[in-house]
Structure 1
Amino acid sequence: MPFITVKDGAEIFYKDWGNPEGPVVFFSHGWPLSSDNFEAQMFFMANQGCRVVAHDRRGHGRSSQVWEGNNIDQWADDLAELFEKLDVKEMMMVGHSTGGGEIVRYCARHGTSRVSKLVLIDSTPPFMLKSETNTAGVPIEVFDGFRAAMEKDRSQFFFDVASGPFYGFNREGAKKSDGIIYSWWQQGMISGFKATYDCISFWHTVDQTEEMKKIDVPTLIIHGDDDQIVPIDCSARLGIKLLPKGKLIEFPGGPHGLPNIEPVWVNERLLEWLKS
């Protein structure tokens, strides 16, 4: 399996599929998942003649379960080393949830010389924490509850998230997919406890408002308006006001896990944005 070893010794797993001469599309997964969660999009875009690249964030999936470095700056630096090794240029970067925050930080920290466009799907920026100035945000008690639930029984907690709010399966009339639930749970359980635990603090400590204002490439925001994990009012609807070159597409009734629940629709939007 392909890995790169980054400067601090961590091994980062990556996938590199499709046409090596085609337009590059990079995918950054959400918490607590891996590159596997974007397989429907990667398969589709590769079949459109693209070169598709995705990684398992450090501590996630098949990458090293390091104790240190589970923070957004290090995630961005890992990407910079991966892109240098693969010599990717003019890529469209796609991030889901936490992965959206990761690619925004990459652009802020390393620039956009390798980037042509961004896509943020149900993503965390600009800032999730509820405050007097961000009343639509998520209360700190929710994040504290996540940590407590992981410490008590991570396996059950991950199952509850996947079978409930992540995909909107807790909504009346929702049709559950056992396959999607178990895939999410399996990806989460393969990822390291420390990395997935540390990631929770990113959601309530990192404000990416100023970073969003400085993104100098066209950026598409896709967000479900019934997202129970990253509420649309503290993310997409604020983020679009910050972006110099932004476009927002809302999916009515859409949950947080749009790439898995609505893969055909998401794939069509990605291809349209790539060709625009």
Structure 2
Amino acid sequence: MPYFESPVDGTRLHYIDHGPATGPVAVFVASAYLGHDMWEYQTLPLAEAGFRCVALDRRGHGRSDDTWSGYDLDTLADDLYGLLDHLDLSGVTLVGHSVGTAEVIRCVTRHGTVRVDRVALVAGVSPGIVRSPNVPEGIDPALVRADEESFRSDRAAWFARFADDFFAVQFPENQVSPDYVRYLIDLCLSAGPRAATGIRAAVAELDIADELPGLDLPVLVLHGTHDTSAPLALTGERVARLVPDGTLKVYEHGGHGMFVTHAARLTADLRDFIEAGAVRTAELAGSDTAGR
């Protein structure tokens, strides 16, 4: 299994690297509690189609080492950039889901665009969902504290209770099998209690709206109309307005788990976006060569 060491503290982090080494490169960052496995309906077909798909298990998640510290956004972003350095990647499309979108954004605003050409944000909690001076319409912090108590008292029951909302199964086209729900909950529970509460704290403190105007590269925002974890108006629509070069695609009836319920459409949208970046990179390389 491929691993590398975090440039921050040497934590051993796991990743996958699938598809041809010469294909357009996409690097995937998962939701809270989940590792690279959540992206199977995107990474497998894209890799089979000739794309190089890399996906990171953040610290404390998936097959990466469990740690007590390092769940702040700067450290997580540095871990992600460490992977790009480790593989010496360039022309990358970064793809993040939920809190993974914040890691992607901070990675770019903290480390620049030498390796990254474009960003796709799927069902993101960015730029923040909890009420603060910058997010007056956000979720009441008292509700967040109560939810944290419920989570700590019985994580397994917490995941099961919110599964229907996660997939927006009130819409017939969003049905997922009980077997898949159990599988995904098991994956979520594989993140230890410290990692789970650490990443939840990062979400509760998230407020990165000020960084978005500096995200000077193409940004694709993909979000569902019925995402109860990250309401569209609070997250995806705000990001698309605040970045200089943003495109918002709204998925009707999409919930937070649209990487499953809307898998084919999401994969197709990501493929088009990644391919556009690869074409642009080739054009720039050609113009540089012609200039010399």
TM-based fold match above 0.5 = yes
Where does residue 109 of structure 1 map in the other structure? 110
1:256: Cα distance to partner?
Answer: 0.7
Where does residue 265 of structure 1 map in the other structure? 265
Q: Quick check: 1:136–1:233 contact (8 Å CA) kept in 2?
A: no
| Identity percentage of aligned residues | 29
Where does residue 286 of structure 2 map in the other structure? none
1:234: Cα distance to partner?
Answer: 0.8
1:190: Cα distance to partner?
Answer: 0.8
SS state at 1:21 partner: coil
1:217: Cα distance to partner?
Answer: 0.9
Report the TM-score when normalising by structure 1.
0.95
Q: Quick check: 1:143–1:200 contact (8 Å CA) kept in 2?
A: no
Q: Quick check: 1:29–1:37 contact (8 Å CA) kept in 2?
A: yes
Q: For residues 175-210 of structure 1, what are the alpha-carbon distances to aligned partners after superposition, in whole Å with 9 as ceiling and x for unaligned?
A: 342133112201111111101111112223121112
Report the TM-score when normalising by structure 2.
0.90
Q: Distance between the aligned counterparts of 1:132 and 1:22, measured in 2?
A: 44
Q: Judging changes above 3 Å, is the alpha-carbon distance between structure 1 residues 175 and 22 closer, same or farther for their aligned structure 2 residues?
A: closer
For structure 2, which runs of at least 5 residues remain unmatched after alignment?
A: 277-292
Q: Quick check: 1:180–1:260 contact (8 Å CA) kept in 2?
A: no
Following superposition, which runs of at least 4 residues in structure 1 exceed 6 angstroms of deviation? none
- The equivalences for 1:1-276 within 5 A come to 1-7=1-7, 8-131=9-132, 134-161=135-162, 163-169=163-169, 171=170, 175-276=175-276
Q: For residues 92-134 of structure 1, what are the alpha-carbon distances to aligned partners after superposition, in whole Å with 9 as ceiling and x for unaligned?
A: 1110101111100100111111011110000011121124653
Q: Distance between the aligned counterparts of 2:121 and 2:23, measured in 1?
A: 22
1:241 partner amino acid: R
Aligned-residue CA RMSD (Å): 1.5
Q: Which moved more, 1:179-188 or 1:10-19?
A: 179-188
Q: Distance between the aligned counterparts of 2:186 and 2:201, measured in 1?
A: 22
Q: Distance between the aligned counterparts of 2:259 and 2:137, measured in 1?
A: 24
1:99 partner amino acid: G
Q: Which moved more, 1:185-194 or 1:134-143?
A: 134-143
Q: Distance between the aligned counterparts of 1:148 and 1:117, measured in 2?
A: 38
1:150: Cα distance to partner?
Answer: 2.3
| Larger radius of gyration between Structure 1 and Structure 2 | 2
1:159: Cα distance to partner?
Answer: 2.0
1:143: Cα distance to partner?
Answer: 2.1
Q: What is the aligned length?
A: 274
Q: Distance between the aligned counterparts of 2:146 and 2:17, measured in 1?
A: 37
1:91: Cα distance to partner?
Answer: 0.6
Q: For residues 144-167 of structure 1, what are the alpha-carbon distances to aligned partners after superposition, in whole Å with 9 as ceiling and x for unaligned?
A: 133212221111112222x22211
